[in-house]
Structure 1
Amino acid sequence: MSKLDQIEKSVASLSDEELKSFAEWFDELRWQRWDRQLEADVRAGKLDQLIEDARLGSAAG
């Protein structure tokens, strides 16, 4: 059984209250990882073109 299979089985066996707590924890984890990825993308310049496009669009009205 893979690690993912084990996790799925464990999550499926949670009570409603445990599942709610797990979902809140998991959502927070996902947002933290998304934030780290976004920060890395900004540092790497991956969003520079989007920022420039927005500036040009704003200046054009």
Structure 2
Amino acid sequence: MELNQIQLAIANLPDAEYKQLTDWITEHDFARWDKQIEQDLESGRLDPLLNELKQEICDGRTSPL
């Protein structure tokens, strides 16, 4: 199925099914985002940002949540 066919099918969904689809997409998107953050943390990709945050906390420019 091509993207334009999927888009047309979505546009023609009844309201209740459209709501179910958007809820599923939202949950799916959050799960993908969580997985990406985990991968970035494990790889060390976020270390510079975390170090900067730790320094700001030490300097009193921000406080931990």
Q: With structure 1 as the length reference, what TM-score do the two structures score?
A: 0.92
Relative to its length, the structure with more helix (as a share) is 1
RMSD of the TM alignment (CA)?
1.0
- List gaps (5 residues or longer) in structure 2: 61-65
Partner-residue secondary structure (3-state), 1:51: helix
- 1:1-61 matches, within 5 Å, as 3-61=2-60
Deviations 1:5-30 (A, max 9, x none): 11101100101111011000010010
Give the drift of 1:3.
1.7
| Distance in 2, Cα, partners of 1:47 & 1:8 | 35
Q: Distance in 1 between matches of 2:4 and 2:28?
A: 20
Q: Percent identity?
A: 35
1:7 aligned partner, one-letter code: I
Equivalenced residue count is 60
Which one-letter code corresponds to 1:56 in the other structure? Q
